[in-house]
Structure formats: C-alpha cells, structure tokens
Chains A and B, each alone.
Chain A
C-alpha cells in the first residue's frame, strides 16, 4: 500500500471526472490551478498541520502569493473579483487536501463579507487592499459563550464616546481570532431596541489596546485553524469603522451567512472528495481473500454511495452559488440547503472512507481519520444543521401560496 499519511489523497488519476459543463473556462482554469497547488504543496503538509495544531503560516503566504486570497475581493481594490462559485471551487480544491487550509480562504470570506456588503467606499479602500493581497487576515466575531445559535442574544457592548466606540465583552469560537489583523465584531449598541436592531458591526484592528486573545480551543478537527476566545477590555474603535448604520448588525450578520455558508459547503464537498479518492485508491490496491477489495460488492456499494453523496452535494452547492450570485430572493434558503446537504455528506462519506480502509482507516498512517474529524465541524459552524433546517423551513412557510 503506497498512500502515505496526509499524502497523495488528491492524485489526479484518482479523482472521478467532474462535470465540466456548467463551469466557465476561467472557473475551470482556476479550479485546476488550485487543485495542482493543493496536490503539490498543501497535501504533503496536511498530516503535520493536524498533528502540530499549528496555523500553517507558510500556506497562508502561498495562498496570498498565488492570488487565492484575493479571489473574493473587488478588482478596484486589488482583488480578483471572482464570483461566489469560483471562490467555492478554490475552497473545495484546497479542502480536499487539507480542511484547515481550505478554511483560510473560507474564513477570509466570512470575515470580510460584512465589509463587502455594507462598507463605504472609504472603508473598502482602507481595509480591502491588505485583505486582497493576503497580507491581512480578517476574522468574524459574532458568537459568544452564551450566544451561539441564538446570535441576537450577544452581550458584548459598544458605547459611543465622541468619535469612537468603546467595545467591552468577549467572543468565543472565533476562527483565526489569534492570527487575524482585523476582526469584524458584532456588539450591542442599543440594549433597549428591538431584538434585531440592538446590534452593530465594527471593523476592529487587533493591534488596538484592550484587545486580547484569552485562550485557544483544543479541537477535534481543523486543528491547524486557531479558534480563539477574544477579550475586549474597553477597546476604542473609530466611529469610521462602523459598518452601515447603528442597529444594522444583526441583519448584516444574517446576510453575511447567506453568502458565506456555501464556503463551508465547499469545504465539506472537498473533504468528502478527498476521502473518496483515498478510499478508491485503497480499494484498488488492498488485497484480501486473493483479490483487491474493490472487487467485493459490499465495498463497491460503499464507494458508490460515497460518490453519489459527494456529487449530489457538489451540484447543489454549485446551483446555490449561482442562485445566490444572481440575487435570488431566497438566497438564505439556498445557502442553508447546500451547507446542510454538504455537511451531512462529508460526515457520512468520511465515516464510510474509514470503513473502507478498516483498521488502517482508524490510524493516522492514512488521512481518512483526520478527514472524518475535520468533517464534523461542517455540521456545526456557521449555523448547526438544526439551524439550517430552521432557515429552510421558515423560507418555505413564508412563501405566499
């Protein structure tokens, strides 16, 4: 058996032929380029990133140099102006090799979306060039210890004082919170207002006095992606960093998630494809009872179901991206649908991949146990699968007959 740990899980000759019809030439070329990079430069690092639980700064630099971190940003501010599907193709290709690395781009999208959706031209000009070049990372700080799914219940406060706001409180489970130079922070500006008008969004520079990382989580998967608890001790933020108007924060957070969840779905599809590729390669080499195990129908059944789940999730993701990009009124439904289906597919497919590899799948000589641990988070973050169902059902029930 010749599959080293974290190694060639994305061999070109192993990958099932993807449907090309719906992709433009640019999308196809970008996907192929990112896939090559993922195979050559990211996959060989994946096992070590997982083992050491250290943020892969070398790969952040690589993504920056290659322009991958510039994909989601407008061209006039130094980005590549790629559409949502193209961004997701890149996240998918990276995540097939290493979910932590795919997340570098997904979190950059998540953190920057409030700015891209509500930022003034002055704010875009101030912050986007650094983000598009990949010099700066940006995190998204909504969740608090007691406000996860119930995001409107956050308690971090922002109090206006002349030309600044003073932010006090804490945030938890913030991806990249310890490596980002900017954080989009959601804080209560008017405790008396209606539940969905209490909150405002600010771009906070992490170099600001009073900002600190109070601890890092020890996680089951995506171990190279630092998940931080952030403390805000009277952090002064210029009023010029308020995104949109006071009270816009909650709506902005929800609109952000409408566009960011496909990134997580893309990460999930990538993880699933990576696991499927390893399982197919293994089934073609591992011999038991005198033949390769891929000749046994029970193994074939597992592989076929894995492929069906992965491809179905992928096609739903691509459709969701197209619907959201064209401004569909039920964008929230599409983004919830694709994350729900893709997250569950990633969990099922990686679990089956471990099954195909048997005992070898359970040990870290092969990457599938890592992929299974990485897959779990896609059912949890940016809204649990239960929240996705709420979003979908509410969209259905709100439809006029």
Chain B
C-alpha cells in the first residue's frame, strides 16, 4: 500500500508568537503538527503489517527540514516538500490547491491527514484536497484497515462510531485515537539523513502563473492578538471519587455555576 501522509511543520506548541506583521513567526523551533504524527504512526503501522511505503507531503518554507527529517526518522520512505517564495502568506484554499497539485504528481493508494493543525486550526484542507481530486473522504478515523482494493474506517460519532468503506485511492483524516506516535529510533535518525527530501516549486507541480500563494489569498488577516494568559487551572486529585466529586461541586457552587 502506497500511503501519502500530509504533514505540516508548525511552531513548537507553547512557543508560538506573532511577528510584527501579525502573522505567525515561523523562525521559532518548528515541529511536525501533533495530529499529523498520529496519522503518520497509523500509516507506518499499515505498511509494516501489509507492505508498501510512506511518502510525506508538505508545504513549507525550504529551510524548515528538521521536522520533516524527524518524520523520516520515524520510518517514512521519502518526503516531497513544496516550497516557493510565492507561497508565503498562503491561505487554506491555496494550500489545498498546492497539495492537490502535488498529489497529482505522485502515485498513491491512500492519503492520510491529521484532523487539524495546532497553528492555523482550520481543519478544512484535507477535505478540500479530496474534493479537488474527486476522491472519497473519510473523516475522524479512530481505526483504519485495508480491504481488497479499498479501505475501512471507524469514524468517531456522537454515539460511538460509524463504519465507512471506500474504494482506493481515498483520503482519510485520522484522530489521536489511532494510537500514540512512536519515538524515532536512533537507527531511524541515522538512516533519515540518507533519505530523499524532494523540493518542488509551484512550477514543478504545474501551478506556475496560477492564482495561488500569498498574493492571491482568499482570506485576509485583519488583526491578531495574544490572548491574556489564563489563570492556572485547578486539578482535583483525591483517591476517593466521592470526595473528589463533592470538591468539584463545592467549587462550582462557590462560583454560582450550579
């Protein structure tokens, strides 16, 4: 099974800050978006069990390769990084078009993506990619299993889960219930240096002179501000569940929430 995992380098959670232009400062330490690590883990488990390989696909500034390298160290085979100066300030719609165009240049059976990202948090790109490519879209997966020529997904629902099946190729968006991502092994880290990160420009994925990128953003950032820091939360820890529950009730009554 050939799986493409969409991965996004994001500012290390907790270190995010806004630059003078109101955009996210992307010069701080970048890491792979947390949700993406969960679907990468699921992809690695699938190819370990059923054969195949995992390709990472990312859109990011060319200098940001450390997080991609780490994802390769976890076990992906290669990475494709779409990088173009024109993409600075791209909106979700641009990102969607870019990833769809890049996917047209790749061979795959399954595209996996995380539910959303810790920086933008839109959560719409994977659905858009599936729409542009005319592929089945299976969201909120807590379990992914291959079928003959297809894929079966357990999709989280309010009442439990739905079982969805689709033919391949398909786009699946996973949740953290897929399972904790692995730590890259030292062998993986040393091996990752030799793996290919193919950098592609917009022209190379057939989007030259197309209305994508910062200059064609369909959304505009009007203002951004850092929220006021929240007071520290209170965690009730009591081995006696009844005492713990009444402590919480007292807390809520005190604040007239009950």
Residues of A near any B CB (own CB < 8 A) = 25-26, 29-30, 33-34, 36-37, 40, 65-68, 70-71, 80, 82, 90
Contact = CB atoms under 8 A, between A and B. Distances in A.
Contacts of B188: 67
Interface string B88-106: 0000000000000000000
| Shortest Cβ-Cβ A-B pairs, 10 listed | A67-B186, A67-B185, A67-B187, A29-B189, A66-B185, A30-B186, A33-B189, A37-B183, A26-B190, A80-B186
B193 interface: yes
Given A25-B193, A26-B193, A70 B187 contact: yes
A67 B184 CA distance: 10
Contacts, number: 36
A321 to B, nearest CB: 17
A25 B187 CA distance: 14
B185 to A, nearest CB: 4
A40 B180 CA distance: 13
14 contacts: A26-B190, A29-B189, A33-B184, A33-B186, A33-B189, A37-B183, A40-B183, A65-B185, A67-B187, A67-B188, A70-B186, A70-B187, A80-B187, A82-B186
Nearest to A79: B187
Most B C-beta atoms less than 10 A away, residue of A29, A30, A70: A29
B-side interface size class: 10 to 19
A33 to B, nearest CB: 6
Contacts of B184: 33
Contacts of A26: 189-190, 193
B186 A71 contact: yes
A71 B188 CA distance: 12
Contacts of B187: 67, 70, 80
Contacts of A40: 183
B186 A66 contact: yes
A67 to B, nearest CB: 4
B190 A80 contact: yes
Contacts of A33: 73, 183-184, 186, 189
A88 to B, nearest CB: 14
Contacts of B190: 26, 30, 80
A134 to B, nearest CB: 11
A80 B73 CA distance: 14
Contacts of B186: 30, 33-34, 66-68, 70-71, 80, 82, 90
